[in-house]
Structure 1
Amino acid sequence: MVDSYPLLTPVHGTIFALLKRYVQTQYDHSTWLRLVEAAGLESGDFSHKDVYPDEQMDALVGAAAGMTGLPVAELQERFGEYLVPDLMYMYQKLLQPHWNTLDMLEHTELTMHAQVRREHSQNAPPVLNVTRLSVHELVIDYVSARRMGPLAVGIVRGVARYYDEADLIDVTPTTSEDGQEVRIRVRRNPF
């Protein structure tokens, strides 16, 4: 895995906008306003075209954990699952019609993440080193200074749901999910 990490890892505004929508759909707009205030942010409006310090995302997620009583990891995982339909829509031109869950995960780094990095030099999605072990199994080595492994786990589960394979896909983090390097085993039951 990677030994060094960028000191600054800005988060794309789209993720903030989707977090806002997630809170508003799961709760309501006033909850979003209270969350922004609890996070100590001046504004809860984020532009899709800009990037923001990851400290702002940490503050929002931490405040949400305090408000809901849910662990940060659980909130991140739920949000990751929620993100998938929008992410798939945004990158639909990069998806191949014959892909399944494992194929999509295997190609994320070289397709979607590569495009995100090209579009804006400050975009810093996590690095996903994917090793395909067999037609039914792969390992994702998630690398990010943001330490949002549970978000990645949620996205993997959301991708399985998107491909209507949620009942067939087993997602198992094999390292601590709150580290800068998280290994996630994804296996598709062939039956």
Structure 2
Amino acid sequence: MHGSIFALLKRYVQTQYDHSTWVRLLEASGLSGAEFDHKEVYPDQHMYALVGQAAEMTGIPAPVLQEKLGEYLVPDLMYMYGKLVQPEWRTLEMLLHTEGVMHKRVREEHQLNAPPVLSVRRVANDEVVVEYVSERRMGALAVGIVRGLAAYFDEQECIDIEPTTRNDGQHVHIRVRRRG
């Protein structure tokens, strides 16, 4: 997983809790003293360990934490990839272009970068369907990013999430509809 996600996770923990919580989380995850460089790629297992330990420490289920992290990531992701975003794009357009624009750039930056492949299709003028399929099993993070995009663009979104097709979060079907 891309180091920028780990760096943002660290900042999220520090802003929601404090620095000592981050240090305890690293220790509990077996990653004591780990520093995550935003330009490097790290094993997915590191993220699983951190999220799992955070869930244990807070009592908040891991999928809920993933969703909250996804929401938190959006302003920084928009800053990092803002040059690729067309001024007229809003939530639905961002979703439609994520794979071909942002994920393409992420893959070009480092050969080990492997963001999930998203299949997004417009089913109506005001509605898209996102199919998240990834062995990472972090569909809740994708859901949080969708919610974060809606907040970023200050849109009143209704996000319906159909049950995952697998219990492990590997396949998530997300229907996003723009109301009025």
Structure 1 or 2: larger helix share? 2
Q: Secondary structure at the residue paired with 1:183?
A: strand
Residue 110 of structure 2 is aligned with which of 110, 120, 141? 120
| 2:165 is equivalent to residue 171 of structure 1 | no
Deviation at 1:43, TM superposition (A): 2.5
Distance 1:135 1:49 in 2: 37
What's 2:29 paired with? 39
Aligned residues: 178
| 2:11 is equivalent to residue 21 of structure 1 | yes
What's 1:146 paired with? 136
Residue 77 of structure 2 is aligned with which of 70, 74, 87? 87
Write the deviation string for residues 116-138 of structure 1: whole angstroms up to 9, x where unpaired: 00111100101110011111000
Q: Secondary structure at the residue paired with 1:108?
A: helix
Q: Secondary structure at the residue paired with 1:130?
A: strand
Indicate conservation of the 8 Å contact 1:54/1:146, yes or no: yes
2:163 corresponds to which letter in structure 1?
T
Distance 1:18 1:81 in 2: 11
What's 2:145 paired with? 155
Write the deviation string for residues 120-165 of structure 1: whole angstroms up to 9, x where unpaired: 1100101110011111000000111110011000000000011110
Write the deviation string for residues 53-103 of structure 1: whole angstroms up to 9, x where unpaired: 000000000000000000001100000000000000000000000111101
What's 2:123 paired with? 133
Q: Which stretch shows the higher mean deviation, 154-163 or 174-183?
A: 174-183
The answer for unaligned runs of 5 or more in structure 1 is 1-10
TM-score by length of 1: 0.91
What's 1:104 paired with? 94
Indicate conservation of the 8 Å contact 2:96/2:120, yes or no: yes
Identity over the aligned pairs, expressed in percent?
65
1:170 corresponds to which letter in structure 2?
C
Write the deviation string for residues 12-32 of structure 1: whole angstroms up to 9, x where unpaired: 000000000000000000000
Indicate conservation of the 8 Å contact 1:138/1:185, yes or no: yes
Deviation at 1:179, TM superposition (A): 2.5
Deviation at 1:40, TM superposition (A): 1.0
TM-score by length of 2: 0.96
Write the deviation string for residues 22-56 of structure 1: whole angstroms up to 9, x where unpaired: 00000000000000001111333101111000000
